[in-house]
């Protein structure tokens, strides 16, 4: 594996352990084309896949039909206005308003390692952009230089691979080497043109993840058709509505089998991700920054850097895709010292108290939590300014001493005495109209002159593209963290961007705002982690509106959704886990009835679902039933016992309640195959059957395993659900069972009594 250049045939081979990409300079003029991407192949002359080794239709041989060539060739960096009528990667205008461009090969370089990527803020400060890094693996990078000769632009296309991953990382840097300003209207990070022959039945499906607040990342699958299908965000965040992700798959592909081409973006702002089929049955798939609300006046000597895209190919279905994404993010993106370590089990007071709390109430919660084995108290919204509801005080990060006499110092000190860690909530990017900060600096809020600013949740967005605003925001957060022993920060963002205008940008540069805003978030969090390297940072955005690979560069975990209803979480978490490691998923046990849905769920089911994430509690532990409080130490013990399997293991999806309604099931299996955790959640009872077969995944077929039902009364695996005890045993072979039997014959489970129930199994090699 690695990166190689065949000089004789002018071919680039980009190879991972299991895949190959072949780029070809298909004409004497140097048009860069994608000849092949898929399962590993030899370094053969694959130009024939572009229509012939000596294609008579190329412009150097048939210039009279130049436009026809561009319209159907699988171009790697397609531009607009010169004959390719499909979606371009780049759109640029010159001083005269002309928008045609054509990029051709100049040179390339192959080198060991992978460089960081960065961009500049308006004040000249360089901001490191989130991107994959080599970690413990070897890395190689190919940089291809393309030139737009008329406009004097150069595009630097970067491709990186790691020797332990089947992902390919792509990004583009565009430099203006002319003496005039050009207007960049669009620059995507990746384009991939595929022939329908790449799919077994020539009828690929598109898979995306969509939703809304409290219903994030639900799998959406449909057949591709002619024309474009896109998901996108223009909200200044990756959004609740769509995930920066798209997969093209055979329509017979499932979790265990089938070819899949997937892509995501390491970016936390506006994006577009799409695929379309043309009249020649070529599929064009692309991802990058959304061109909506974006223009960049690229001045002479200036450069623009795109975010990094991740491309994945597998023939092992969605589980295989997930493994590549998970391993890449754990090994090459998440930098936190908490990555593989056991996270403190926390209790958050939001659903327990909302804004109605004081020091005594928080300490009461902490005392009961400590008795149950919980290790951290997180104080959520309402501790600052005069904030007794969500109508004021954002931006005034001064402790409300009426609620917290003695301040945070006293509260954190009392928690430390009882052996509890302390965490705190911030929403640093926002400002309330009713705040001292807004009254002093109304121009610090993003707004359009002459328009009444749009309020969402009765708040505005601070213009952190400006250095003075960003510095003020940072110092407010850092001052609080310096004042007490604080181990954890929940960084929230509860509204989207609108009324895009900044007093820090001139008219010609106003189209930069959305891009610079995202860089501003990265700059703030990078500075925070530089000063507080041991801080456990959890990102949040009204739940899961900024759950993306960009944020994982700064925080090892992200609050998955404000919907903590365990039944709803089954679908939300199943979608999230398709891309992101389970260790990144903030998941808590909350009170029943649930505060959003009103659904009543057994405490053990709520625990089983939350144990597939970072695990914690979101309830008033002083007010829950005694039986539930007494169950918490057992759940805590389960987390300590099997949490490493969830954090570090390979994830396998067994069943989706969104597909079959009756039950949901998934597994985590350690890399050495010696331990596994199976979680089964029944969602509907059935009056006419007493058993159900679950076929396991990911085990070593030749290993022998023992199964223990977690929380059972004895090794014969009795269980409880809804308080009703059953006396029958699990219908599985006695003693040790081979991996091949568990995966092929399966495990036979009883149908539980009642609407909701759960069974968790720890599986060990014997």
Instruction: Measure the CA–CA gap between 171 and 265, rounded to whole angstroms.
Output: 10
Mapping DSSP onto H, E and C, the string for 437-453 reads HHHHCHHHECCCCCCCC
Q: To which residue do tokens 């294609």 refer?
A: 55
The DSSP element (H or E) to which 400 belongs, if any, is none
Whether cis (ω within 30° of 0) applies to the bond prior to 513 is no
Helices (H) and strands (E) in the chain, counts: 14, 43
Task: From 24, 29, 32, 19, select the one nearest 8 (Cα to Cα).
Answer: 24
- Rounded to 10 deg, the angle between the 603-610 and 566-577 helix axes is 10
- Taking residue 63's Cβ as centre, other Cβ atoms within 10 Å add up to 10
Residue 136's Cβ-count burial label (10 Å; 0-12, 13-18, 19+) is exposed
CA dihedral 258, 139, 275, 48 (to 10 degrees): -80
565 belongs to the catalytic site: no
Q: Answer whether 507's CB lies under 8 Å from 449's CB.
A: no
DSSP, collapsed to helix, strand or coil, labels residue 328 as helix
Instruction: Measure the CA–CA gap between 515 and 270, rounded to whole angstroms.
Output: 8
DSSP, collapsed to helix, strand or coil, labels residue 703 as coil
Task: From 277, 316, 253, select the one nearest 195 (Cα to Cα).
Answer: 277
Residue 220's Cβ-count burial label (10 Å; 0-12, 13-18, 19+) is middle
44 belongs to the catalytic site: no
Give me the catalytic one of 84, 368, 492, 664: 492
Mapping DSSP onto H, E and C, the string for 503-538 reads CCCCHHHHHHHHHHHHHHHHHHHHHHHHHCCCCEEE
DSSP labels for 250-314? ETT--SSSB-EEEEEEE-SS-EEEEEEE-TT-EEEEEEES-STT--EEE-TT-EEEPPEEEEEEE
Question: Rounded to an integer, what is the distance from CA 53 to the centroid of its chain?
Answer: 41
DSSP, collapsed to helix, strand or coil, labels residue 619 as coil
DSSP labels for 69-110? HHHHS-BSS-BSSSS--S--SEEEE-TT-------EEEEEEE
Give me the catalytic one of 562, 563, 620, 664: 562
Instruction: Measure the CA–CA gap between 228 and 249, rounded to whole angstroms.
Output: 16
Question: Rounded to an integer, what is the distance from CA 364 to the centroid of its chain?
Answer: 36
Instruction: Measure the CA–CA gap between 305 and 171, rounded to whole angstroms.
Output: 8
In order of 93, 95, 97, 506, 716, the CA distances from 299 in angstroms are 12, 11, 15, 14, 73
Instruction: Measure the CA–CA gap between 79 and 87, rounded to whole angstroms.
Output: 8
DSSP, collapsed to helix, strand or coil, labels residue 758 as strand
CB proximity list for 19: less than 8 A, separation 6 or greater: 37, 38, 39, 40, 166, 168, 313
Parallel/antiparallel/unpaired status of strands 488-491 and 536-539: parallel
Adjacency order of strands within the sheet including 675-682: 650-655, 663-669, 675-682, 757-765, 704-709, 737-738
| Beta bridge pairs of residue 538 | 490, 557
Task: From 387, 392, 470, 477, select the one nearest 435 (Cα to Cα).
Answer: 392
Task: From 365, 374, 313, select the one nearest 607 (Cα to Cα).
Answer: 374
Active site residues: 492, 562
């Amino acid at each position: 594996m690695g990166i190689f250049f065949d000089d004789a045939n002018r071919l680039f081979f980009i190879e991972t352990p299991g895949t190959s990409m072949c780029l070809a300079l298909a004409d004497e003029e140097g048009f860069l084309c994608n000849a092949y991407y898929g399962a590993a192949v030899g370094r053969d002359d694959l130009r024939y896949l572009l229509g012939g080794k000596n294609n008579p239709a190329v412009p150097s041989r048939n210039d009279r039909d130049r436009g026809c060539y561009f319209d159907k060739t699988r171009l790697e960096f397609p531009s607009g206005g010169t004959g390719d009528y499909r979606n371009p990667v780049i759109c640029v205008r010159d001083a005269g308003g002309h928008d045609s461009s054509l990029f051709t090969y100049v040179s390339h370089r192959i080198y060991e390692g992978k460089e960081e990527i960065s961009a500049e803020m308006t004040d000249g400060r360089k901001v490191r952009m989130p991107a994959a890094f080599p970690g413990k693996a070897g890395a190689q990078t190919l940089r291809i230089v393309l030139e737009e000769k008329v406009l004097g632009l150069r595009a630097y296309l970067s491709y990186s691979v790691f020797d332990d991953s089947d992902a390919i990382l792509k990004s583009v840097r565009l430099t203006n080497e002319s003496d005039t300003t050009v207007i960049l209207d669009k620059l995507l990070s990746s384009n991939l043109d595929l022939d329908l022959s790449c799919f077994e039945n020539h009828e690929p499906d598109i898979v995306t993840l969509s939703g809304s607040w409290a219903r994030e990342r639900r799998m959406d699958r449909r057949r591709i058709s002619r024309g474009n299908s896109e998901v996108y965000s223009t909200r200044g965040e990756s959004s609740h509505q769509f995930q920066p992700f798209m997969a093209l798959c055979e329509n017979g592909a499932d979790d265990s089998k089938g070819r899949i081409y997937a892509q995501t973006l390491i970016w936390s702002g506006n994006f577009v991700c799409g695929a379309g089929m043309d009249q020649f049955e070529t599929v064009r798939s692309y991802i990058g920054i959304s061109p909506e609300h974006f223009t960049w006046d690229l001045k002479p000597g200036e450069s623009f850097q795109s975010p990094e895209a991740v491309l994945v190919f597998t023939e092992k279905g969605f589980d295989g895709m997930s493994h590549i994404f998970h391993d890449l993010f754990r090994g090459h993106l998440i930098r936190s010292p908490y990555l593989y370590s056991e996270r403190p089990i926390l209790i958050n007071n939001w659903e327990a108290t909302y804004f109605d709390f004081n020091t005594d109430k928080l300490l009461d919660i902490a005392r009961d939590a400590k008795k149950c084995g919980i290790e951290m108290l997180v104080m959520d919204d309402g501790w600052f300014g005069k904030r007794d509801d969500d109508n004021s005080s954002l931006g005034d990060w001064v402790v409300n001493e009426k609620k917290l006499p003695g301040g945070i110092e006293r509260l954190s000190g009392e928690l430390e005495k009882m052996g509890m860690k302390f965490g705190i909530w911030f929403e640093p990017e926002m400002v309330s109209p009713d705040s001292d900060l807004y009254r002093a600096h109304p121009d610090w809020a993003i707004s359009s002159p002459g328009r009444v600013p749009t309020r969402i949740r009765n708040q505005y967005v601070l213009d952190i593209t400006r250095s003075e605003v960003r510095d003020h925001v940072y110092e407010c957060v850092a001052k609080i963290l310096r004042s007490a022993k604080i181990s954890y920060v929940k960084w929230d963002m509860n509204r989207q961007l609108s009324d895009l205008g900044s007093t820090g940008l001139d008219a010609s540069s106003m189209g930069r705002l959305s891009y610079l805003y995202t860089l501003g978030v990265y700059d703030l969090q990078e500075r925070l982690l530089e000063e507080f390297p041991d801080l456990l940072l959890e990102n949040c955005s009204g739940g899961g509106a900024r759950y993306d690979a960009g944020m994982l560069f700064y925080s090892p975990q992200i609050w998955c959704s404000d919907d903590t209803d365990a039944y709803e979480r089954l679908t939300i978490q199943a979608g999230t886990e398709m891309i992101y490691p389970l260790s990144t998923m903030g998941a808590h046990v909350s009170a029943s009835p649930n505060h959003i849905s009103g659904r009543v769920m057994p405490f053990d089911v709520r625990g089983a679902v939350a144990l597939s994430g970072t695990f914690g509690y979101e309830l008033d532990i002083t007010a829950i039933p005694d039986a539930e409080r007494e169950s918490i130490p057992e759940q805590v013990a389960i987390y300590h016992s099997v949490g490493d399997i969830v954090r570090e293991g390979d994830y396998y999806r067994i069943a989706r309640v969104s597909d079959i309604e009756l039950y949901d099931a998934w597994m985590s299996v350690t890399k050495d195959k010696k331990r596994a955790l199976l979680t089964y959640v029944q969602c509907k009872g059935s009056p006419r059957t007493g058993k159900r077969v679950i076929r396991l995944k990911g085990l070593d077929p030749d290993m022998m395993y023992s199964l223990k039902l977690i929380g059972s009364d004895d090794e014969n695996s009795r269980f409880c659900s809804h308080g009703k005890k059953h006396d029958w045993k699990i219908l599985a072979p006695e003693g040790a069972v081979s991996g091949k039997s568990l995966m092929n014959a399966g495990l036979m489970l009883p149908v539980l009594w009642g609407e909701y129930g759960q069974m968790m199994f720890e599986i060990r090699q014997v």
